[in-house]
Structure 1
């Protein structure tokens, strides 16, 4: 078994994992920013007077977005004048549906965080084994060559730890962003249901002042 080849493969895997982590971090960062911007804009325009997609500004409905896809079923339920339970169930359903698209691919960053140090340690072990095999076959003729081989092997551990640190920072950042976005989307759903007329709800009547009725 060629330990040097396995050592190189370990490096290639770690570099690929680093590239994947960077790509996911950029993609999630852009997506989270877009969702928060759309949710903020929809929250500002939603209210008791909005009962369908036609009541929303065209600029907010022109492009598909997660907040818009959450709001439209709430508006449809609101316009149907169903029961309060049906409206609450629809709000809860739409809120639960946001978990999958928001947390998509974040498990990969978490996996890389755990696997990168282990891959680095594996690369170090393979590199040291390869160095000792070279010593056993050729003897100690050049101490600098030995230290260079061990230094290259230890570089794998350092690279694995660096990748893990990078992933930890962005994973924690995205987890914090998820909590903030979830709160924002919950407020959005409540705003979308504002002004709904549901079955069994008695309209609130403003009492007429006594002096007006006796005048």
Structure 2
């Protein structure tokens, strides 16, 4: 069974999630800056509608946080299975080959963890910004300016 193709597919999937996550991050920063300006000019109902829109697509970052390590682990497992199958065919005589195979397999786990950490940092940051905007809107509409 050629698991190398599946291992590469896991990397492609993680890369696609990374690209989509970065798009969401940039989009959210732009959206937040626009909404901050619009809150002062809008009615209370419109302001809360705008703030609610900020939560849209945050699930994509949450998905990256959750799926990154799992996909990385899957990639590592597939690479290890492929490596051990190749070693079994050739015989286990060279520890350098084993070390390279295991090192290559762990790259997928590292990439998955990096993806999750990247998404987590921005997920927390954006959630804090959204919470601050919500609190600011409460003060504005309560008359506390």
Q: TM-score, normalised by structure 2?
A: 0.87
Structure 2 unaligned residues grouped into runs of 5+: none
2:116 equivalent to 1:170: no
Is this contact kept in 1: 2:76–2:105, CA < 8 A?
yes
Q: Distance in 2 between matches of 1:36 and 1:96?
A: 12
Larger Rg: 1
Counting only pairs closer than 5 Å after superposition, residues 40-79 of structure 1 correspond to structure 2 as 40=40, 42=41, 68=42, 71=43
How far has the Cα of 1:171 moved from its partner? 0.5
Would you say the 8 A contact 1:21–1:109 is kept in 2? yes
Greater helix share, 1 or 2? 2
Is residue 110 from structure 1 mapped to residue 62 from structure 2 by the alignment?
yes
Shift in Å, 1:95: 5.5
Measured against aligned partners, the alpha-carbon deviations of 1:159-211 in whole angstroms (never above 9, x if no partner) come to 111111111110110111111111223344456xxxxxxxxxxxxxxxxxxxx
Q: Deviations over 1:120-167 (max 9, x none)?
A: 111111110000010111223544333222111101111111111111
Q: How many correspondences in the alignment?
A: 143
Query: Which secondary structure does the structure 2 equivalent of 1:98 belong to?
Result: helix
Aligned-CA RMSD value: 2.0
User: Aligned equivalents of 2:93 and 2:33: distance in 1?
Assistant: 59
